[in-house]
């Protein structure tokens, strides 16, 4: 089980990531200058209604939104890891996923956040970070 503190620790360890709070929810989000990589996401009334229409409900516990590289990647991740990843109609056509923090292990969460960071990170910085991690 992962927590918001785990998200904070993982995200802020990545080069250039800043935490901001505010927006319409006042919840924390983690971003680079080029955009958000992860954000705490609670349900809106429209989310609840659209999920109910589909026979689904918003999960208990904290939920994290994360950026993914493409719609194809999103679909592949949803198919491979339905236990902790999900989407909602509001995210249709958007390269982002929702993560049930109560259902995911911290190591897998770190991979998902790093992948979101790689989508937004400058190419040179990403290349250097991958090399440092032995992933290049």
* pLDDT tens digit sequence for 45-97: 999 999 999 999 999 999 999 999 999 999 999 999 999 999 999 999 999 99
Domain CATH for 126: 3.90.1150.30
Express as a percent the part of the chain with pLDDT over 70.
96
The secondary structure of residue 69, as a DSSP letter, is: S
Question: Where in the sequence is the domain holding 33, given as residue range(s)?
Answer: 4-132
Instruction: Return the structure tokens found at 102.
Output: 């109560």
pLDDT of residue 135: 81
CA 115 – CA 91 distance, rounded (Å): 18
Tell me: pLDDT of 23 over 70. no
Total domains in the chain come to 1
């Amino acid at each position: 089980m992962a927590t918001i503190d785990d998200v904070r620790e993982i995200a802020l360890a990545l080069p250039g990531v800043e935490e901001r709070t505010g927006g319409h929810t006042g919840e924390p989000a983690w971003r680079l200058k080029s955009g958000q990589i992860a954000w705490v996401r609670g349900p809106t009334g429209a989310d609840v209604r659209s999920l109910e229409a589909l026979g689904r409900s918003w999960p208990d516990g904290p939920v994290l939104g994360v950026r993914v590289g493409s719609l194809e990647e999103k679909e592949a991740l949803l198919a491979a890891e339905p236990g902790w990843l999900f989407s909602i109609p509001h995210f249709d056509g958007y390269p982002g996923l929702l993560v049930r923090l109560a259902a995911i292990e911290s190591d897998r969460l770190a991979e998902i956040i790093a992948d979101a960071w790689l989508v937004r990170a400058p190419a040179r910085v990403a290349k250097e970070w991958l090399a440092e991690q032995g992933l290049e």
